[in-house]
Structure 1
Amino acid sequence: MRIVELRQYTLHPGARETLIELFEREFVTGQQAVGITVGGRFRDLDDPNRFVWLRAFPDMVHRRRALEAFYTGPVWREYRDAANATMVDSDDVLLLRGPGFAPQPGIREVVAAICRPLDTAAFDAYAARHLGPGHALHRTEHSENDYPRLPVRTGEDVRVWFGPATPPPWPIRQLRLESVTTWP
């Protein structure tokens, strides 16, 4: 299991494609160069002003080091103003533990389900019955955010999975996503 950030950005109207193009051209390889695993990148199909993406780290120590390297490095310095100009908010971030997720080549639509189970034993039983190999299940990582320059949401205990729609018997927020992930 890895440390995974689920990042949900609210963008200025009409700015999503600009950010996606910049992200795919510069930020994927720029982050990979400092040891960050960049996972799926998505358009929110229900909100034209949202961009959703994941990145992963082996552990919290590697996360801090990699984020320091990227955000003080040449790629971010050169393109940060252009990226920040597209964004209204970039602080909707969940810190999770899980396998990460990138859709297989050719898969365009997936669902990200964010669930706040009140009874974790009941949730675990549900997950064992209904979430299969096509789902990537993540749980809240409760470690302190050791890179406070980038806020994460705290005080929540969530389960998040990616894959086919599988509605549980708990309140849930489902994001219908379209992959923008480019493949080599």
Structure 2
Amino acid sequence: MPPSPRPAGHPAARPAARPAAHLAVIELRRYVLRPGRRDELVELFDREFVETQEAAGMTVLGQFRDLDDPDRFVWLRGFADMETRREALSAFYGGPVWAAHGPRANATMLDSDDVLLLRPLPAGSGFAVSPSERPPAGAAAPDRFVAAALWHFPPGDPDGAALVHDRLVPVLRETGPAPLAVLATEPAENTFPRLPVRTGENVVAVVTSYPDENAHRRHLAGVLGHPLVRQEILPRLAPARGGAPELLRLTPTARSLVR
């Protein structure tokens, strides 16, 4: 669960959220919610936890409904570096907004500890979005489909990330829309232990946006039919979950930047 609220207090002024391209650390957070309460959390999150987190020094990148589980909420947030992450999370979870609204958010959740700490691959890349582009509260949800493919490699294996980024991603660009971002496990120690993250991971995440799920299926078929993928890439990816990624099928909420 997220931290229990602390007594209200006004955090010190923080730098404004940075454009996503400058974020060196990204959290991929997957929450299991109590049955039937996802829309309640989405509404609360988009109203109370977007600008307020960014005022503390982080960037809220994306909020999503998981199409494969009606009680799962997925979101992304980013930080300039690990020390900024510590400062920003301390300010937000020790501040008045979380004290006021955190208990209601926590009440919707069964588990919030499924968190991957990631970094853009290569360094300096990332999501080409900016908080200035965020739709206002009350906007309609976009009619988009976002796929996040998570490739799981053995801990310590240095070749998986290079194989996905250097060999697979060019095929993805050739056969369909380019990924919005390619992310790999950030190995640094968690600087805010009140919020757990998964350890011992070696993950590469490829996040791509489509007009709809049919476009994703067509893209996937084109990738799987590509000679380089069939003959070279898939055989070398065999140790990664049997050669297939874990696929998150997502729809963005109204205020998600990633869409």
**Normalised TM-score (structure 1):** 0.90
Unaligned regions of 5+ residues in structure 1, if any?
A: none
Pick aligned residue for 2:182 from 137, 140, 154: 137
| Structure-to-structure mapping, 1:37-76, within 5 angstroms | 37-76=59-98
CA offsets per residue over residues 30-54 of structure 1, 9 Å max, x none?
Answer: 1011111001100000100000000
Aligned to 1:171: 244
Match of 1:122 among 145, 158, 163: 163
Instruction: Provide the secondary structure at the position in 2 that maps to 1:18.
Output: helix
- The 1:183/1:146 distance shift into structure 2, 3 A limit, reads closer
**Cα 1:101–1:181 shift into 2, 3 Å:** farther
Compared CA separation, residues 66 and 30, structure 1 to 2 (3 A): same
- Which stretch of the first structure deviates more once superposed, 86-95 or 106-115? 106-115
**Structure 2 partner of 1:111:** 147
Q: Is contact 1:55-1:100 (8 Å) kept?
A: no
The Cα of 1:183 is off from its aligned counterpart by 6.8
% of aligned pairs identical?
A: 49
Matches of 1:173 and 1:140 in 2, distance apart? 15
| Paired positions, count | 184
Instruction: Work out which of the residue numbers 15, 31, 49 in structure 2 matches 1:27.
Output: 49
Q: Distance in 1 between matches of 2:244 and 2:76?
A: 23
Letter in 1 for 2:68: D
Of residues 204, 208, 223, the one that matches 1:159 is: 204
Query: What amino acid is the match of 1:141?
Result: E
Change (3 A) 1:57 1:146: same
Query: Where does the alignment leave 5 or more consecutive residues of structure 2 unmatched?
Result: 1-22, 121-125, 136-141, 210-215, 225-232, 235-242
Contact 1:41–1:54 (CA under 8 A) maintained in structure 2 = yes
State which structure, 1 or 2, has the greater radius of gyration over its C-alpha atoms.
2
Which moves more between the two structures, 77-86 or 132-141?
A: 132-141
Q: Identify the structure with the greater strand proportion.
A: 1
Q: Which has the higher helix share?
A: 2
SS at match of 2:50: helix
TM-score, with length taken from structure 2: 0.65
Q: CA deviation at 1:171?
A: 2.8
Alpha carbons of structure 1 residues 142 and 5: separation in structure 2 relative to 1, 3 Å: same
Match of 2:103 among 46, 71, 81: 81
Aligned equivalents of 2:36, 2:97: Cα separation in 1: 24
Label 1:14 to 1:117 Cα distance change in 2 as closer, same or farther (>3 A): same
Specify the code of the residue in structure 2 equivalent to 1:177.
L
Decide whether the 8 Å contact of 2:179 with 2:206 is kept in 1. Answer: no
The more displaced of 56-65 and 127-136 is 127-136
Q: Which runs of 4+ in 1 moved over 6 A?
A: none
CA distance change for structure 1 residues 15 and 77 in 2, over 3 Å: closer, same or farther? same
